[in-house]
Structure 1
């Protein structure tokens, strides 16, 4: 009964083991050995051992060993069939073995299963070593701080052993069962991904034949951020003797292959068809081997290319320059060629990424090897120093830039193109384009007082050339302290130059001024251009240039102090330009007073004068205003002072400052020029405020003279004209500058009279305006003014005021003729012309009822007019006289009740004695025909033609006022004709004169000019 139960249990275990229904926990070493030992079917047991996989190392090893034991008998039988090593009939033995397997397929199947079990046993042994290479991550332990008071704690353990830190044991990323059945290459991928580098090394060491063809594929599965130091044993290396790839060290588990693994046996097993359907029956696991690949050895060039590609992949994936730098350093140490330059680039790039101070902007931090290689050396230098400050720049140049420059020099030497000046050239190029504060930092680190090894710029003459190029090539207007700091760092050369050497140096500086002047081909001379210019200069010229630079820097500081800064190159450009220096002196004198820190005190203006005179230069080196005479600088300065409107300060300076000594005319010229400037810029003509007020008060600075009084009167006249609201264009008041630019200023008086109804009544005001407009001693202008007043009064039909004004005009002309003794003088002719025409106009005015006054005016016109106009005026006078006689006769007939009183037609009672005698004299002198002849039709036609000629040549045109003068004159003519017994016709001289008169008052200012 007991025996029956034991047999049943054994069958159950066997069934469970083979079918896989017995769990791993239920399996033990003992029951596996006991159960399988009792089964005599070797094939069944070996297949069962190949089918069952567990994760327990010991149990799996027992299963594999039991299976191998059951294949040993078949293996011995196969060995007997195989020929010995001395036999040569391999083909015969393979065929014999194949026939054997056909007769006994069980042995073929056992050989097949044995090969599987052997490989699994090898992998199991490998897995045991893999577990030994597992990474150990220590667990941080909290450290307890002991209290000093409990240092002698009696309860403390005195014999406590060393504390072993706790660790976390990490299991392999692949289980034993998976490792035994999975493709070995896939297991290698998994280990690479999880960074089990020690396990990978074991895998390569024990299974090199399988993994060697796929070594680079395995490396690609290692994360890009992994440190190459951790897997350096997996990286390819080269043999320096053969210039080819070097194999890994390897030691497989079995030095010799088992008989079941021999190619002859495997071929015979496959050829015998003993395995047909065998895999399906036993449910065997596929043979797990890596794909076969030729064990090719790469040459050194290919290995180098792999390293370079790996570098690009890592940088693209992570951007971690230190990782790729470590990779390249390892490759170079393993004799891989062409990695030196790449290593240099990575080392330099690593400094740029990790050591150089970084800015706040992250977009500048995306550095790749491709970007590095695409940049030229100047760009890389700028990248090294992009975030440097003046305090850190010397350190950054020494630790970052100089190593890079030495690498470039070394590469040039290796390439067979040595360039010893390369580091200097590139460093100088950066300095030439750096901000001045950075340049100062470099020069402070290159002072001649420092040890040569510590100086950035070693050569003193190079320092001078660089400083000249940087300073004269700068556009800065406010860094004068920085520029002076650069100058103070330069060496001091005590050398005495001959006169010809100084002349050569000065000529060099002069030519430099032309060099820095902008042109179409070179709008601006850069510091690099200037360095090329300074390079060939000898030390004597450089020393002279430093002396000139010192003067220019002082001048630049003065300019900046008075708010007229100029770039340093301006002093070179203007060294031979008088116009440029004069323009800048004017700018300085004017801008100083108008700057934000406005000069108010006398001391400030004295300081400005002192600085302007200092710019003239008192040494051999000319200053900024070296071409300007001292007197001109003082005049420019005083003009600038006046332009600020501080006239009291100007008066105090004239009284107290000995340097301001002017000739009377020179002082007046300055004040007049400044007054004119104020006047021209004035928007209003009122001299009580604004620019016009300054123009007026400016003339009070020097003692008054006729010139100044005349200018002040003109300003007063301008103000008076502005009060009359005359316009230059419709709706636009006339401006002061338009008043000054008016060629004939009497036209302004004409505009006043024509635009203001009652202006003609204020004779003295108008005359005063004429005088102040510049015609105080101009009798002709005064006569024209009277004529304009009379004409305006005439148009306003104020005949009495027109007659009074005409009388004053006549007296003025007669006095002028008497004073100048005749009419030969041009002024007399001009005044007489205006006077007789004005008298003629008023004397023949039909609406003027006072015949006696009209006859008097016509008589004065006859007296003053030129001989060729006498016929015209005399005709009008005779006509008026006849009309007067007829009127008198009618009045007498009416008063005597029809009694007729005859009046002699030659009665000259209406003429004054002076006019009558003058008329008689002039008629006698010119042999004039008898007046009655003028009443004939032919005479009237001749008079009309003559007066037309006179009217056409009148030097004026009369403007319209009120109603049409032509209509008024026509109505007057009608009234006159109605009282006369004779008609004059359409060609009457009086009608022609009326038409001329209707043109307005413009006749006083020019022949045919419009007002």
Structure 2
């Protein structure tokens, strides 16, 4: 084959078919050394075995040419200087000579250039093999088998640290490693966390990549622990106070002539550039740091690296490892940063490792530095439980406090109290469960070195501040645990007099009372109050605390809990103590602890209430110290009654062994108050069940008195009103509280009459209701009630019932006027109601019984005022004329007209004149004058209507008559119920003869119309 054919065959030969024999057969037959060297330089393959063979062939072909050139341009004296890469100050030859030669012999120049490239390639292949596998022969001796089972890249048993595991491909291919800059490969290895190969790269090619070491290290992921790449991290040479440079282990200690700097410079001068000839990939420029850094620069770099780790990942442990590594290498100025990171690491990974919820923001070093010490302590113990609190304090808090003390000493301002101050501040803001655990580990019986709080007085102050500053009302057992851990000073408070104790209590009560400037007294505020107190005052304060804890437990037992500071605030507040006692007795929170069912439970409650009003042996008052025994007993009885336990109340009041011994008058007052409470809260007025029954039964406990009876009758009246279904508004029954709040209780009777069509028929029932409404023994309300009943019956056109009510009213008024105990005002009121009602019924033309009408008009004349006589007389004379006319008409027809009465005779019989002259009859002169009164008819009719309207307008303000009735009622013709009344139509009435009418008229004329007939009689 010709040379061209061989060249073409080589160009057509694929990389995967290259082996030793093929390479030797094809390239060995080509005589052109330059072509062979260039062909090898242009072919980059991923398999190092054939690549070693290619490089060996090319280096062998170029060796003779380079050797001749070396012999031509170099002398024996300058060989060592030139070989070492240095420059001879008086060189034997100049690079201009070599450059001129290269311009004249371009083939030799290219061979030199390509040889330097191939030598660098061979070094890289050796480095690649060392980085990723060691089963390839150092000089290109390949295994005979090309099977994948013998591939050295799959066997990494002896690989360096962080090498890919067996079967894992390297992070970059051989061709990429050969074609790109070493710095780019180093950055890629750093990014891929392939630190073993990267360490090999630094060892073999240090001069090329060391200036870019900071850029390479910046490619390492921030989350990777520095322990994996600590060998390539910057170190400090302590003897020189600058960065340490690791020794270089190059593959060839002596450079080839083609690699001499002077030769490379000549090649460049003659127009041959290495980078172009090598075909390396173009990459951006990289910042270089060719000189070693100083110690301060190293410290700055490590701080920046730590900050980058925290900012990008928030992994405090990685940042701490970096700080610890820098400190171990002697980098100055990182001790305090290491302390901060160590404490922050404890907080993040130990103290808060059990957090279920991930915080919204990760912890940062800047945030940590800006936190005050107390916030750090609280953060360290944020997830602690009562079981783990003490261990967490010893593990996290105490080391932190030790660091703070050390810093203060280093700063020249030592503060030995900083630990105790921070621990005190934490205790003052901690829950009581946590406080109890700390106090248990601070008992005076423990060795001083084991106590968290070593000072006894500080313990007392902290306990007083925490307990009196707490809002808790259900942790009394925890408070008792705290109190049991406190020290006891025998005789410390024995010399303090009662005035000093009272002063201490008063001061404490005033201090814990909220003000505008301080709405709430916190434990920290109280600690400031207790801090200046001497030992004697502290001891006395603990005695007070003991008493208050006992009182608070009793209050909590009976569902009347209060914060402990309430016992201080109410020490001089009688009303506050009374309110709490009422709550305790009334069991407002009943059901929280236990309900009281038996008498024994109530006796236990009474015993505890009495204990709270006593003064103990130390002269200290309990929770109800301002209340007397009588007040406590009254409050207890009131609370007992409020629960409806009436049988228990009766039993305790009547038992001689019971402590419930109260005066009868007090019992009556309490029962009345309780009864009224039940009454006011009742939803129904029926006293047979519910709250109304309790209100009624309450009155059976005290002795019967007039007041108790009146209250019972009022409840019965309420029940009776409810039975009539009286409504406050359409569809809503009248409630008991509305009945009690009604100012004019007679209006309730009016509502009954107006809302029930038959209620007026039950005269005795209604009158009994009036008595039970509180009017028993008062005649005027009865008169008004009868008037309302008469008016209601009149509206219903039930004249018999109307007359019966009017007749009872007349008898009542007559008895009232004759009574010496009645006042003139009451007498006038009764008369006015009576005459108006009589006149209203007597003038009704629909009322067919004329004698009864005349009787009513006669009584109206008897009771009316003088200015109303003309109107009533006109009506009376009109009715009399009608009866005379009827009489005459009946006589003409041979029939006599009579009115029912005792005699059974007519109104104008033959004996009329004789009876008018009998004793008691109207005197002749008066009768004649009365007969001679002439009033015009038509004006009288008008005056009669106007007078009635005016009179009823005045009387209506004094009793609530029902003015109207439904129209349907007028269509009814109700008949009187003679069985329900003492008087009725069947009872028989005296005839209204002229004598009786004249007697009534005489009494009326004597009161005011003598001027009409003269004053001679």
TM-score when normalising by structure 2: 0.78
Given the alignment, which residue of 545, 563, 576 partners 2:559?
Answer: 563
Equivalent residues of 2:55, 2:118 under 8 A apart: no
Q: Given the superposition, is the C-alpha separation of residues 236 and 865 from structure 1 closer, same or farther in structure 2, using an over 3 Å criterion?
A: same
What is aligned with 1:960? 964
User: 856-865 or 248-257: which moved more?
Assistant: 248-257
Deviation at 1:784, TM superposition (A): 2.4
What is aligned with 1:628? 627
Equivalent residues of 2:78, 2:92 under 8 A apart: no
What is aligned with 1:452? 448
Equivalent residues of 1:675, 1:699 under 8 A apart: yes
Matched position secondary structure for 1:352: helix
Alpha-carbon separation, structure 2, partners of 1:915 and 1:730? 56
Matched position secondary structure for 1:953: helix
Give the gaps of 5 or more residues in structure 2.
82-86, 136-154, 164-169, 897-905, 973-1017
Deviation at 1:35, TM superposition (A): 10
What is aligned with 1:168? 157
Alpha-carbon separation, structure 2, partners of 1:863 and 1:288? 138
Q: Alignment length, in residue pairs?
A: 915
Matched position secondary structure for 1:449: coil
Deviation at 1:483, TM superposition (A): 2.0
Given the alignment, which residue of 201, 210, 222 partners 1:212?
Answer: 210
What is aligned with 2:302? 307
What is aligned with 1:3? none
Deviations along 1:976-995, whole A, 9 cap, x unmatched? xxxxxxxxxxxxxxxxxxxx
Matched position secondary structure for 1:387: coil
Alpha-carbon separation, structure 2, partners of 1:489 and 1:350? 34
What is aligned with 1:748? 748
Q: Given the superposition, is the C-alpha separation of residues 432 and 371 from structure 1 closer, same or farther in structure 2, using an over 3 Å criterion?
A: same
Q: Given the superposition, is the C-alpha separation of residues 423 and 567 from structure 1 closer, same or farther in structure 2, using an over 3 Å criterion?
A: same
Given the alignment, which residue of 474, 480, 503 partners 2:476?
Answer: 480
Alpha-carbon separation, structure 2, partners of 1:529 and 1:58? 85
Deviation at 1:963, TM superposition (A): 5.0
User: 99-108 or 624-633: which moved more?
Assistant: 99-108
Q: Given the superposition, is the C-alpha separation of residues 896 and 732 from structure 1 closer, same or farther in structure 2, using an over 3 Å criterion?
A: closer
What is aligned with 2:846? 847
Alpha-carbon separation, structure 2, partners of 1:567 and 1:14? 104
Q: In the alignment, does 2:70 pair up with 1:75?
A: yes
Deviations along 1:630-673, whole A, 9 cap, x unmatched? 21111111111111111111111112244212222211111111
What is aligned with 1:55? 48
Deviations along 1:198-219, whole A, 9 cap, x unmatched? 5434433443321121112222
Equivalent residues of 1:881, 1:910 under 8 A apart: no
Equivalent residues of 1:61, 1:124 under 8 A apart: no
User: 597-606 or 247-256: which moved more?
Assistant: 247-256
Q: Given the superposition, is the C-alpha separation of residues 965 and 24 from structure 1 closer, same or farther in structure 2, using an over 3 Å criterion?
A: closer
Deviations along 1:316-336, whole A, 9 cap, x unmatched? 666554333222101122233
Deviation at 1:728, TM superposition (A): 2.0
Deviation at 1:712, TM superposition (A): 1.1
What is aligned with 1:600? 597
Matched position secondary structure for 1:680: helix
What is aligned with 1:653? 652
What is aligned with 1:494? 490
Equivalent residues of 1:184, 1:288 under 8 A apart: no
Matched position secondary structure for 1:575: helix
Deviation at 1:58, TM superposition (A): 8.1
User: 490-499 or 68-77: which moved more?
Assistant: 490-499
Deviation at 1:724, TM superposition (A): 1.1
What is aligned with 1:808? 808
What is aligned with 2:540? 544
Equivalent residues of 2:796, 2:970 under 8 A apart: no
Deviation at 1:593, TM superposition (A): 9.0
Alpha-carbon separation, structure 2, partners of 1:855 and 1:179? 142
Matched position secondary structure for 1:728: strand
Q: Map of 1:900-919 to 2, 5 A cutoff?
A: 916=921
Deviations along 1:849-883, whole A, 9 cap, x unmatched? 44433333333344444555555545544554455
Alpha-carbon separation, structure 2, partners of 1:346 and 1:194? 27
Alpha-carbon separation, structure 2, partners of 1:725 and 1:967? 24
Q: In the alignment, does 2:391 pair up with 1:395?
A: yes
Deviation at 1:77, TM superposition (A): 1.1
Q: Given the superposition, is the C-alpha separation of residues 780 and 124 from structure 1 closer, same or farther in structure 2, using an over 3 Å criterion?
A: closer
Alpha-carbon separation, structure 1, partners of 2:377 and 2:549? 30
Alpha-carbon separation, structure 2, partners of 1:511 and 1:909? 101
Q: Given the superposition, is the C-alpha separation of residues 600 and 83 from structure 1 closer, same or farther in structure 2, using an over 3 Å criterion?
A: closer
Report the RMSD for the aligned CA atoms in angstroms: 4.8
Deviation at 1:781, TM superposition (A): 1.9
Alpha-carbon separation, structure 2, partners of 1:876 and 1:833? 18
Alpha-carbon separation, structure 2, partners of 1:184 and 1:87? 30
Equivalent residues of 1:316, 1:368 under 8 A apart: no
Alpha-carbon separation, structure 1, partners of 2:238 and 2:734? 100
Alpha-carbon separation, structure 2, partners of 1:196 and 1:170? 11
Equivalent residues of 2:109, 2:267 under 8 A apart: yes
What is aligned with 2:777? 777
What is aligned with 1:730? 730
Deviations along 1:237-258, whole A, 9 cap, x unmatched? 3456776544334455667766
Matched position secondary structure for 1:475: coil
Alpha-carbon separation, structure 2, partners of 1:223 and 1:938? 125
Equivalent residues of 2:675, 2:699 under 8 A apart: yes
Q: Given the superposition, is the C-alpha separation of residues 257 and 502 from structure 1 closer, same or farther in structure 2, using an over 3 Å criterion?
A: farther
Deviation at 1:114, TM superposition (A): 5.0
Q: In the alignment, does 2:696 pair up with 1:692?
A: no
Alpha-carbon separation, structure 2, partners of 1:610 and 1:441? 34
What is aligned with 2:831? 832
What is aligned with 1:971? none
Alpha-carbon separation, structure 2, partners of 1:589 and 1:912? 80
Matched position secondary structure for 2:587: helix
Matched position secondary structure for 2:728: strand
